[in-house]
Amino acid sequence: MFTIPCFQVRFKECICMVGKETYILFKISLLQFQQRRKGDSYAVILIFTRNKLVYNIRYIQFNTFIAYSKALSYTSSSKVLPSLRSSKSFKKLPQFLTEIKANDVKLQSFDPKEELNPKIWVDDKLNPKIRLRLLNISDDFVEFLNVKWVKPSDIQLTGSLANYNWSHFSDMDIHIKMDFSKVYEKKEFVEEYFKMKKNEWNEEHDKLKIYGYRVEFFVEDVDYNANSNGIYSIEDNKWIHHPNELKNVEIDKNYIKSMSAKFMTEIETLLMKTEKEKKVEKLEAVFDKSEKLLNKLKRMRKNGLKKGGEMSSENIVYKVLRRTGYLEKLWKLNSELKGDIYSKKYSL
């Protein structure tokens, strides 16, 4: 059951996001009818989920109503939110509607498991069928990198599927180890090149899965030491670092929920600020905030991995944002704003 605030105001249209685990977009247009008692507010409410119209409620009195659709139930009462009678009050509305509560953040998928994923591991070795398939795919990826004068030093499986914190959200993280100094003398250029190539590959092959787990590639310098609890050499078919069981690991759930909700709210607020916005200076302000937030999240995760490993609070907050789609929303917003701002500034 989702709660919808009650409005008794004199404005034409608003866009708002509400809900708990699922965020639903409501486009509200208030109508006044002469035949009705003065002061009553009526509305045409178009209810969307992911931009798809799922329910259309017409001429509903806003004082109180209950509407049902096939998949969702909605309720509204004047007790939920005091009547908003001025545009000044309405300005506070987006902050209320985009706020994510800490209790709405679910962490069950981060509970440690008692064993490694039995689909992936057989007698503490990588499933032979999976290993051969990953080696074949890795060969194709290395060929795609188009750096024929340098061969990978190793092909490694790491991340939650090589650990006791795996879940249905896990990816098959394949790390290609290469000596960047042999590729080109400027390592920064090499790193940027490999980042571009792996992003291109991962986007083109986003439906590639092994037993339901998405295969994602990374390219790392041989000198880079990953802060991973488990690292397995697919090439040599042996553990480089066997993961330790996580039975005694306790996570700070209150902190993780609070920080996750805070970042989710910030992202939702940035998204709302770009709705129908055309002024370049305002879009630039939102872009700057999105850029700072992305960098902040990256630093937070990096410091968390260095300090406490994969089960650090900072890394879990980052994963919560990724699993709930908020990180992708932020990346997409940042990329689209960058293009829109440039087009608006230099188009004739």
Based on the fold, state whether residues 120 and 55 are members of the same structural domain.
no
pLDDT digits (tens, 9 = 90+) for 219-260: 999 988 877 889 999 999 999 999 988 877 788 889 999 999
- Residue 128 lies inside a defined structural domain of this protein: yes
Residue 327 in tokens: 């990180």
- Residue 80 lies inside a defined structural domain of this protein: yes
Q: What is the C-alpha to C-alpha distance for residues 269 and 301, in angstroms, rounded to an integer?
A: 22
Based on the fold, state whether residues 285 and 198 are members of the same structural domain.
no
Based on the fold, state whether residues 147 and 208 are members of the same structural domain.
yes
Based on the fold, state whether residues 68 and 150 are members of the same structural domain.
no
Based on the fold, state whether residues 227 and 283 are members of the same structural domain.
no
**Residue that terminates a domain, selected from 241, 276, 292:** 241
- Residue 105 lies inside a defined structural domain of this protein: no
**Residue that terminates a domain, selected from 58, 91, 124:** 91
pLDDT digits (tens, 9 = 90+) for 117-158: 999 999 999 999 999 999 999 999 999 999 999 999 999 999
What's at 101, amino acid-wise? Answer: K
- Residue 98 lies inside a defined structural domain of this protein: no
Q: What is the C-alpha to C-alpha distance for residues 128 and 146, in angstroms, rounded to an integer?
A: 28
Band the pLDDT of 178: cuts 50, 70, 90: very high
Can you give the residue range of the structural domain that contains 196? 115-241
Best CA proximity match to 124, nearest among 237, 212, 12, 218: 237
The DSSP line for 118-144 is: TTTEETTEE-HHHHHHHHHHHHHHHHH
Based on the fold, state whether residues 281 and 261 are members of the same structural domain.
yes
Based on the fold, state whether residues 123 and 207 are members of the same structural domain.
yes
**Residue that terminates a domain, selected from 185, 214, 241:** 241
Based on the fold, state whether residues 79 and 10 are members of the same structural domain.
yes
What's at 52, amino acid-wise? Answer: K
CA 280, 286, 292, 293 dihedral sign is negative
- Residue 36 lies inside a defined structural domain of this protein: yes
- Residue 104 lies inside a defined structural domain of this protein: no
CA distances from 294 to 122, 160, 258, 287 (A): 39, 23, 18, 11
Helices 253-273 and 326-346 cross at an angle (nearest 10°) of 30
pLDDT at 307: 84
pLDDT digits (tens, 9 = 90+) for 252-278: 889 999 999 899 889 888 888 887 677
Look at residue 338 and give its three-state secondary structure: helix
CA atoms within 13 A on the CB side of 312: 17
pTM for the full predicted model: 0.66
- Residue 327 lies inside a defined structural domain of this protein: yes
CATH code (residue 165): 3.30.460
Based on the fold, state whether residues 277 and 309 are members of the same structural domain.
yes
User: What number of other Cβ atoms are within 10 A of residue 103's Cβ?
Assistant: 10
The mean-pLDDT minimum among 52-61, 107-116, 296-305, 332-341 falls in 52-61
Based on the fold, state whether residues 235 and 126 are members of the same structural domain.
yes
Residue 60 in this model has a pLDDT that exceeds 70: no
pLDDT at 190: 94
Number of separate domains in the chain:
3
Residue 64 in tokens: 């109180």
Based on the fold, state whether residues 213 and 272 are members of the same structural domain.
no
Based on the fold, state whether residues 296 and 210 are members of the same structural domain.
no
- Residue 164 lies inside a defined structural domain of this protein: yes
